[in-house]
Structure 1
Amino acid sequence: MNLSTAEQLLVEQRVTNEAKSTAVAYLLWILFGGFGAHRFYIGRTGSGIAMIALLVIGFGTASVGIGALFIVALGVWLLADLFLIPGMIHHRAGRAAR
């Protein structure tokens, strides 16, 4: 599909307007990472809900000893997100441009 210059500018403007801030995503990761707030912000609601589920199940089963496994899994996921956040934001911007 060939777009005119004006149409290309409109697409770029829309992508810029809908872009999520990497700084805000990292701030949410730092403050509310265990709740998946950074994933909700980026638009990955399903994985945000999964992070909340891991947190709740982890604390709910901590008294029987297996809760630590869920908390560790969440911690590993949060550590991975430290490096994945820029890519998730870039992917979202690419989807918006299409």
Structure 2
Amino acid sequence: MAVSTEQQILIEQRVTNEAKSIGASYLLWFFVGYLGGHRFYLGRKGSAIAMMLLSIFGVILSVVGIGFILLIVVGVWALVDAFLIPGMVAEQKNKVRNDLLQQAMLSAN
């Protein structure tokens, strides 16, 4: 069963309110991107933890000289993320929208 136009408008309002912000994502990327802060914000906890651990081990192991490789990897990853953030935000918005649509369809039945 399809949702009504009124429900669709309410869903889009909630998506706008509940979805993550591109601006906030870029601020987190700029200030704590090497620790995966933007990924935590966007709900990608697994890759955020991996990024954080690579950064921490990179700093610790840089005393020995090996850690610089890890820090370069994290730097490249963070640079690539700068281009992926809009897609990650759009994906998160679609997830919120789909969840709300499912709730609306279940409550209509």
TM-score (norm 2): 0.84
Structure-1 separation of matches of 2:50 and 2:17: 28
- Deviating above 2 A after TM superposition, structure 1's stretches of 4 or more consecutive aligned residues are none
Gaps of 5+ in 2: 99-109
Hey, what does 2:84 align to over in structure 1? Answer: 84
- Output one character per residue of 1:40-86: Cα deviation in whole Å (capped at 9) or x when no partner: 11111111111110011101111222101110100010000110000
* Residue identity in the other structure for 1:92: Q
CA distance in 1, matches of 2:11, 2:54: 38
Deviations 1:9-53 (A, max 9, x none): 121122111111111111111111111111111111111111110
In the comparison of the two structures, how many residue pairs are matched?
98
State the match for 1:20 in structure 2: 20
Find the counterpart in structure 2 of residue 97 from structure 1: 97
**1-side partners of 2:64 and 2:18: how far apart?**
45
**What's the Cα RMSD here?**
1.0
**Which one is further off, 36-45 or 70-79?**
36-45
Between the two proteins, what is the percent identity of the paired residues? 50
**Aligned residue for 2:41?**
41
Q: What SS class does the counterpart of residue 2 from structure 2 fall into?
A: coil
Can you give the 5+ residue segments of structure 1 that lack an aligned partner in the other structure?
none
Normalized against structure 1, the TM-score is what?
0.93
Q: Does 1:11 align with 2:4?
A: no
Amino acid at match of 2:78: L
